[in-house]
Structure 1
Amino acid sequence: MGEHIAVLGAGSWGTAFAKVMADAGQRVVLWARRGDLAEAIAGDRENADYLPGVRLPATLTSTSDPRRALEGAGTVVLGIPSQTVRHNLTSWRSLIDPGATLVSLAKGVELGTLKRMSEVIADVTGAGADRIAVVSGPNLAKEIGAEQPTATVIACADHERAVALQRACTTGYFRPYTITDVVGCELGGACKNVIALSCGMADGLGFGANTLATLITRGLAETSRLGAALGADPLTFAGLAGLGDLVATCSSPLSRNRTFGARLGRGETMAQAQAAAAGQVAEGVKSCSSIRELALRHGVEMPITEVVHRVCHDGFDPREMAGALIGRKTKPERER
């Protein structure tokens, strides 16, 4: 995997994945935007801001200097929010080795361009699809940091590269699988954030398990429809990057998107919910708009995504969500 692995982004998931790779025997350099955070991680062996209570291995070092992180890195992992990938990568691309494997942890669709993260990475760096990989699945950072057993998916058009990454992050608590369906893997990861917002709203409104199960199941259906329109393998959505990630994100209080949605469901404004998030990014708040636009472009019906967009950006009252979804025209569960 090259001299070392650079993980760019010291948020909760970037830090957790850096720990996984270090635990798997890799030498990892974790880049933090803030110098004080990089120093605290180096001195305390802990990221108290984003992953408190988790001891970080000695083979994981930290820096706020992107040049130091990237020099000699055979693998570059992008652990930054989806809407910042293009801007940050543009400033880093001259520092990245031309043969390095580029790995996206971000789950979203870019506003404006409507591109998936692997497409943004290719745009900025000129890297071929064989060099770009995506990690997705039930990836709640706090649980992974605590070394609770979980599995994930590594998607790459180059199967051998995916296998190399698989070996580089396999531990006693973290089991990666490989697929070549990058499109399905990315759409599953992006869309589940939007569905999780709807599940959080439902919880905040006091609805129970039937409503949650309905939103998860119908959310998976609309994600699969979009995937089919974009050429994804339908089986991907039945796996870890689809159903697995969806269930974890929609049902856990550790999910930022579900928690954000619950605040809206309880009557908080967008500003109040964002203030309460304390710097943590609920990706679905922005991605709901780009995913909605992507669906409209391809003629795909995504009613849950539509309602979430209206709540987050058009002032629609979450209390009207159930009526907007249940009151739609009836039809067969599966289209003929």
Structure 2
Amino acid sequence: MSISHVSSLIKPAKNIAVLGAGAWGTALAIHLSKAGHAVTLWTHCAEQARVMTVHHENARYLSGVTFPTTLSISDSLEALIPHVDAVLVVVPSSAFKQILQKISAQLSARCLHVAWATKGFDPSSQCLLHEIAFDVLDERVGLTVLSGPTFADEVARGLPTAMVSASEKENEAQYWADLFHFDAFRMYTQTDMIGVEIGGAYKNIIAIATGLSDGLRLGANARAALISRGMAEMMRFGQALGARPETLMGLAGLGDLVLTCTDDLSRNRRFGKCLAESGQTA
């Protein structure tokens, strides 16, 4: 028996709700289920919930990856949220505030842990997502952001992955790290929520630029210049908002930037390439 399997057996299993059944939410739900937790993946679409329940996979976003037997599906927040120990939000940033507002009144005394793996800014206020969460949720709820260089397909298939769990409260960051630690998955902890969120959002801009560059066949020199100068710009932007430089030089900044800019599994990189190849880049 492997060490990782032994550790998963001795840590208490949790009842976790993962909100958002896209590729990323599904991948994280699969991993948490494999780690021994009772996980329910929520989708806002009743038909999608029915299809995933019947076929035991998310064919639309992660075709060919079978769900663990401990992974359940739901389309009802009202029936789900009052009975879980922790909530992981993995919806688009445009829906982030709305989801938090919906679950805020349903969080029970047993569920004081909310995290999100959503990347981006709130499109209405341009605030970072932790600012939205602190404003919407009760102050008793521990808040954590999860980010890092990851592709959903690789996480779902159990390939080696490292992420960052960041919270103003060290015990909250560790809570989520403990939930995720399993097999080839490692979660590192820190307290710089601003830096982690900026790294996860800003790298998308640079990824589109590198996709454009590669789509126009401008060469490896141009790609390297975009990544390195983009990193410098991210550092200046992050420090202006209060991020720590070492955060942006780590997994959530540099790591995510390199991954997103250099592999065609990145949607932002592919978007940039498509723009260039279509000629619609004016």
- Regarding TM over 0.5, the answer is yes
1:114 — aligned with what? 126
2:5 — aligned with what? none
Match of 1:53 among 64, 75, 100: 64
Matches within 5 A, 1:54-93: 54-93=65-104
1:195 — aligned with what? 206
* SS of match in other structure, 1:153: strand
Asked if 1 retains the 8 angstrom alpha-carbon contact of 2:93 and 2:119, the reply is: yes
Q: Which segment is superposed worse, 222-231 or 91-100?
A: 91-100
Asked if 2 retains the 8 angstrom alpha-carbon contact of 1:224 and 1:237, the reply is: yes
1:82-117: CA deviations, max 9, x gaps? 111112222232122355211111110112312111
- Which whole-Å CA distance do the structure 2 matches of 1:208 and 1:174 have between them? 34
- Which whole-Å CA distance do the structure 2 matches of 1:97 and 1:252 have between them? 41
- AA partner of residue 125 (structure 1): L
Asked if 1 retains the 8 angstrom alpha-carbon contact of 2:148 and 2:255, the reply is: yes
- Which whole-Å CA distance do the structure 2 matches of 1:62 and 1:112 have between them? 30
Residues 1:124 and 2:136 are matched in the alignment? yes
- Which whole-Å CA distance do the structure 2 matches of 1:10 and 1:91 have between them? 17
* SS of match in other structure, 1:95: coil
1:263 — aligned with what? 274
- Which whole-Å CA distance do the structure 2 matches of 1:189 and 1:127 have between them? 25
Match of 2:46 among 35, 46, 67: 35
Deviation at 1:238, TM superposition (A): 1.2
1:216 — aligned with what? 227
TM-score (norm 2): 0.91
1:5 — aligned with what? 16
Asked if 1 retains the 8 angstrom alpha-carbon contact of 2:14 and 2:37, the reply is: no
Match of 1:135 among 136, 146, 153: 146
1:184 — aligned with what? 195
- Which whole-Å CA distance do the structure 1 matches of 2:98 and 2:179 have between them? 28
The percentage of counterpart residues that share the same residue type is 39
2:114 — aligned with what? 102
Deviation at 1:187, TM superposition (A): 0.3
Q: Which segment is superposed worse, 239-248 or 33-42?
A: 33-42
- AA partner of residue 137 (structure 1): G
CA RMSD of aligned residues (A): 1.7
Asked if 1 retains the 8 angstrom alpha-carbon contact of 2:116 and 2:146, the reply is: yes
1:236 — aligned with what? 247
Deviation at 1:252, TM superposition (A): 1.1
Deviation at 1:133, TM superposition (A): 0.4
Asked if 2 retains the 8 angstrom alpha-carbon contact of 1:42 and 1:62, the reply is: yes
* SS of match in other structure, 1:157: coil
- Which whole-Å CA distance do the structure 1 matches of 2:47 and 2:53 have between them? 10
- Which whole-Å CA distance do the structure 2 matches of 1:3 and 1:17 have between them? 14
Deviation at 1:154, TM superposition (A): 0.6
- Which whole-Å CA distance do the structure 2 matches of 1:108 and 1:154 have between them? 16
Q: Please, which runs of 5 or more residues in structure 2 have no aligned partner?
A: 1-11
Q: Which segment is superposed worse, 185-194 or 223-232?
A: 223-232
- Which whole-Å CA distance do the structure 2 matches of 1:167 and 1:56 have between them? 22
1:265-292: CA deviations, max 9, x gaps? 11255xxxxxxxxxxxxxxxxxxxxxxx
Asked if 1 retains the 8 angstrom alpha-carbon contact of 2:142 and 2:169, the reply is: yes
- Which whole-Å CA distance do the structure 2 matches of 1:266 and 1:127 have between them? 49
Residues 1:227 and 1:150: Cα distance change in structure 2 (over 3 Å): same
- Which whole-Å CA distance do the structure 2 matches of 1:258 and 1:68 have between them? 38
Deviation at 1:165, TM superposition (A): 1.0
- Which whole-Å CA distance do the structure 2 matches of 1:181 and 1:117 have between them? 13
* SS of match in other structure, 1:38: helix
Q: Please, which runs of 5 or more residues in structure 1 have no aligned partner?
A: 270-315, 318-336
- Which whole-Å CA distance do the structure 2 matches of 1:211 and 1:241 have between them? 23
Aligned length: 270
Match of 1:21 among 32, 38, 41: 32
* SS of match in other structure, 2:85: strand
1:294 — aligned with what? none
Matches within 5 A, 1:226-305: 226-267=237-278, 269=280
